[in-house]
Amino acid sequence: MKKKNLFVKISDQFIDTFKWLFDFKDWKMLFRSIPGTVTALFVVSVVVMNLMASKTIIMTNPSWLGITGGLLISWIPFLCMDIVVKTYGAKGATKLNILGLIINLCCIGVFQLIATIQIGGSPDTYKSFDATFSQTWQIFVASSIAFVLSGISNNIINVSIGKLFKKNPDGKLAYMTRTYVSTALGQFIDNFVFTALAFLLFFKLSIGSTLGWTWLTVLGTSAFGAALELIMEAIFSPIGYKICKKWQREQIGIDYIKYCKSMEKRKDIGRIE
């Protein structure tokens, strides 16, 4: 009987998630509600971050640390996600993640197409352009997987920690704690999954080389990235907190939140968890 109940619970959760994912009214209301500046900053930073991830800018010897260019701006998407999670919930922020992923994939496709097409002229003239915008599949696949996993992890951890602050969930301490912890862990997951997949797995399988990366490099980079992200959060999270309070005062996103709560009353998925 217990096995049946567990199966039914998992089945219902899967069905609810499917409904939420393909609820196009939810998508439309969400992105009408999130101020365009935040959405634009998130999407642009994701595209640029993945372009910059193609270059390793620091590699220590012995190789305990490797830094890609993408790490320098990877804190921006997490800052945007923290703001969106606080106002719209983990599932709303996850849809922002999905939008960022889709736009990034479209941009990579366009970059690759432009880099491939060459009719007339000398191909040598555009070597620098091609090298910059033509992304290898190893980087492309690894960064996409890491982006989705770290984003979902960040959103869930953020909300879970917020629930611990029952007396003052909207206070500054609650906001700082949830953003610091979720961002540090999310950034660690992002760096670990990306570097492990791209260099230790995909490059090793495709060209027989890890390009100097080892498990020690992956762990060192992941830890360094989490620490760097934490520093950036400490600097910019007060701004994020002020933005959230301003949105709360101005009731930004209130129509979307009401819609989510109405869906919850219909015994649908917990939309704003």
273 falls in which pLDDT band (50, 70, 90)?
A: low
**Predicted confidence (pLDDT) at residue 136 exceeds the cutoff of 60:** yes
pTM for the model? 0.85
What's the CA gap between 245 and 249, in Å, rounded? 6
Q: Which two tokens stand for residue 250?
A: 């101005």
**How much is the pLDDT for 69?**
80
The predicted model gives 89-109 an average pLDDT of 92
166-191 confidence digits (pLDDT tens): 889 899 999 999 999 999 999 999 98
**Predicted confidence (pLDDT) at residue 16 exceeds the cutoff of 60:** yes
